[in-house]
Amino acid sequence: MFRTIWKSIVLLFLSVIACCILYPIALWAVGQTFFPFQAGGSMLNGPDGKPVGSKLIAQPFTKDEYFQPRPSACSYDATASASSTLSTNNYQLRDRVARSLAPLVNYKSGPNAGKPVAPDVEIWFQKNQYQGKPDIVGQWASAHNALATAWVKADPSHGKFVEEWEKTHADDVAKFIKDNPATPEPQPADLGPVFFASYASEHPGMFPVTNTGTGPDGKPQTTIDPANSGSEIQSTFFLMWREENPDVEMTEVPGDLVTSSGSGLDPHITMENALFQLDRVAAKWADDLKRDPAQMGAEIKKILDKNAQAPWEGLIGEKFVNVLEVNLELVKKYGQPS
């Protein structure tokens, strides 16, 4: 019996040595010797030589100089897997899609064929009329409380702005508490719809827009100012404009431009998606560098072609590009966006 126990102990010891020490060391040695890039997480470096991210994991880009990745239902969290679970008639889903479309979509036909829709959204907003009634912002907040609440949560500066508003609008806050006794100590997000109703009456035809500048001390300073133009106006009110102009024909867009991914591990977009964004990216870089947009577009198109891939070396499937790789190429070629 002792010999049987001893053999079992020796077998256990050898198994631990082989599986927990020798095998991992062998894999590490092979990976570091023959596949060092993949073994290191497929990390990509910026112009300064420091890692900026993995080519296997999507990350958000917000500036117009960059190509945008596919929307993520889990906020580009590589450890998560999620779905918005919103139905096609849910206004929050339609709003998210509209915000993606607003800066990109063009007229498909008519006298404005080929021209962007976004400037006309601004002009429409500035009339401050929706379905024959004044006060677009107030109607937006009243009809879609969830969007007003989401605005407050979207940025820490928004929450602080609403907190400052609370200090000078005690009557509005008191009325909210009276109407909502289950919320005796409302948080800024709870007050979103009330805040926008007040803001719309004090700043007719204006929407609170975040601006980043330089403060008196030379450090970056964020302010929220009333505005009736700009990309935030175009994105936020594109859907309402569309509801008033349902017969306007607009260009079709690639599916992966608006459908969200349920994973953070989705770093590619189709070539069709990239080409759809090309005009915006080229125009912004041309504006930054004071160059011809057409020439800029041709140069960036070459970068896309250089980085394009397809399954089985192009034998099947459609071409796609890695968003992080392409955006790093832009930074290496043109420098950091202004």
Residue range 258-292, pLDDT digits in tens = 888 877 778 999 999 999 999 889 999 999 999 99
Say which range, 104-113, 121-130, 203-212, 312-321, has the weakest mean pLDDT.
312-321
pLDDT at 207: 96
Over range 209-216, report the average pLDDT: 81
**Contacting residues for 29 by C-beta, under 8 A, at least 6 apart:** none
Confidence of residue 167 (pLDDT cuts 50, 70, 90): very high
- 274, 326 Cβ separation under 8 angstroms: yes
For helices 136-143 and 192-202, the axis angle rounded to 10 degrees is 170
Query: What are the tens digits of pLDDT across the range 290-309?
Result: 999 999 999 999 999 999 99
> Which residue has tokens 């008191």?
174
* Percentage with pLDDT > 70 across the chain: 99
Give the global pTM.
Answer: 0.75
> Taking 70 as the threshold, does the pLDDT of residue 217 lie above it?
yes
**42-53 average pLDDT score:** 88
Q: Give the pLDDT band of residue 84 (cuts 50, 70, 90).
A: low
Does residue 25 or residue 83 have the better pLDDT?
25
Average pLDDT over residues 36-59: 88
Q: Quick one: average pLDDT of 50-64?
A: 88
Residue 214 forms beta bridges with which residues? 220
Q: Are 91 and 147 in contact (CB under 8 A)?
A: yes
What residue type is assigned to position 72 of the chain?
Answer: S
Burial class of residue 13 (count of CB atoms within 10 Å of its CB; 0-12, 13-18, 19+): exposed
pLDDT value at position 73?
79
Determine the pLDDT at residue 103. 83
**DSSP H helical ranges for the chain:** 2-17, 23-34, 36-39, 91-101, 118-126, 136-143, 145-154, 156-168, 170-179, 192-202, 231-236, 238-244, 271-289, 293-307, 323-334
Weakest mean pLDDT among 54-63, 214-223, 236-245: 214-223
* Mean pLDDT for the chain overall: 89
Query: Which of the residue ranges 1-5, 14-18, 23-27 would you say has the lowest mean pLDDT?
Result: 1-5
pLDDT of residue 189: 93
Crossing angle of helices 156-168 and 192-202, rounded to 10°:
70
- Model confidence over 143-157: pLDDT tens digits? 999 999 999 998 899
What pLDDT, in 10s, does the model give residues 21-30?
999 999 988 8
Express as a percent the part of the chain with pLDDT over 90: 56
Cα gap 306→274, rounded to integer Å = 13
